[in-house]
Structure 1
Amino acid sequence: MALVSSILEKFNFISSSLNNFFRDKLEIKGFPKMKNDRWKYTKTIDIFSSNQERESFDLKANLPISKLGSYDFRYLDDSFAFLSLSLVKDIDFIKMKDEKLILGNSLLKGAYFKALVIEVEGRCNIIEKFTSTEETMFFPLTYIILKRGSSLSYTKLQEHSGSVVDNTLLTLEEGSRLEMVTFSRGSRVLRNNLKVLQKTNSESTINGIYSVDKGHLDNFLRVEHLDRSRSKQKYKGIVEKGRVSFAGSIFIDRSAPGTESHQLNKTI
């Protein structure tokens, strides 16, 4: 708990009802240790080893961004997601309908925190690209809701040299379709937490492609089928002197008979 308090103090904890709520959750949960199966290959201390000051940045996007004081994050259970929500002043919000969204930024030096909610209607396309230097820590949280009958093509480009813990949560409502691919390169430490919640007759295809030289990459993926639905996940990558771990899990609710789900990871 001492680490939680010192991190929040270092990065200028903001006091509001939203921030206090997630600060309490973070202090109860604490940061994960290697004895936790989900984190047995990633040392939390390595993520915070850069002695950086907190910096603010504007999310660059080609669609209008509004601000939310709060949002329903009931499915979140990750300490670093709680950290981001403890430290952001506002939650960015984008609503899409039959549109293409391009978002990202180049992060130079410092510690950055982001919380973004995207609602998708119709046929939409998202391209996300963030880059960072070795003197950077980045803690993004992205929550995407695919409305009933919508479809989304989501491309995530990760070119980092510093430490990143990327939390992405997607909810697929009835009859929605998701195609997602993540390209990951570099990074001293890069942890991807991806959680997908699927409802009736939704479909998802999730691919990951990665190249690691000297750094550490940890892909954690969880797909939850809350009703009859289909999913496919395939991750492939090349590792040289670095280290890569993959942990994938599929949960099928008892009320989801007829669900199809396939998962594959290959590393060279």
Structure 2
Amino acid sequence: MHFTKWHGLGNDFVIINSKTEPISDYRQQALAVCDRNFGIGADGLVVILPSDIADFKMRIFNSDGSEADMCGNATRCVARYLYETGLTDKTTITLDTLAGIITPELIFDQNTLATVKVDMGEPKLTRGETPMTGNAVEKTINAAIEVGGQTYRVTALSMGNPHCVIFVDDVAAVDLAAIGPKIETHALFPRKTNVEFIQVVDRQTLRMRVWERGAGITKACGTGASAALVAAVLNGHTDRQATVKLDGGDLFIHWADNNHIYKSGPAVEVFRGEYLL
């Protein structure tokens, strides 16, 4: 099976073109391919398929075999992969995902790719949309939840997938491996949740660490960075555009007047190869 390996700020993916490399069992293939000891190693397996409603369809499978609705970092990688492999000559591409149509745009500076900008769509703020148990029309902004005998103030929302954002004084002091999975699987989140711990540096800068649903600790999360800015604005911490500093690097997030979130950042191909099934 021929593949290419990409990363967006260290959040890494194996990308497969299903037209030439058909897969019979996506879950099992993701488990095998993403294993960092016995496989290629990645946070997720991304499969490119044809679509009747967009330029391409993108399916994303986490390292635990579960399917993700959307992934901002994977979207940037897929957009550049499609363009640079000649599968499309468009610089603005529509992708059919479980979270709806996502539109990445390749931004060039004198014929050199400068960044990949993704229209992440509109944030969904109610409990019913997140999803989260409780009154479906209520919003969860700086609400108290108890986890492992400790109380956290959380802001929950969806960026096509669920997020639980927690503001702290020092993200480096958070034991992410211990608390992340407990919040991910908390009974309040029927489809589990991504978990972001955020330190406010100033009104234009956030520092973030993330526990991703189905993948664990990762160096970056595009939808998580988008959720972080939304939560920061809702809690009065930042303006509507900010740089989010992740373990793998920086993303620029803008919550525009049309209520859409725009995310800009890099996408890098690491290597290509043949996976021996």
TM-score over 0.5 (shorter chain): no
More strand by share: 1
Higher relative contact order (CA 8 A, sep 6+): 2
Structure 1 length as normaliser, TM-score?
0.26
Structure 2 length as normaliser, TM-score?
0.25
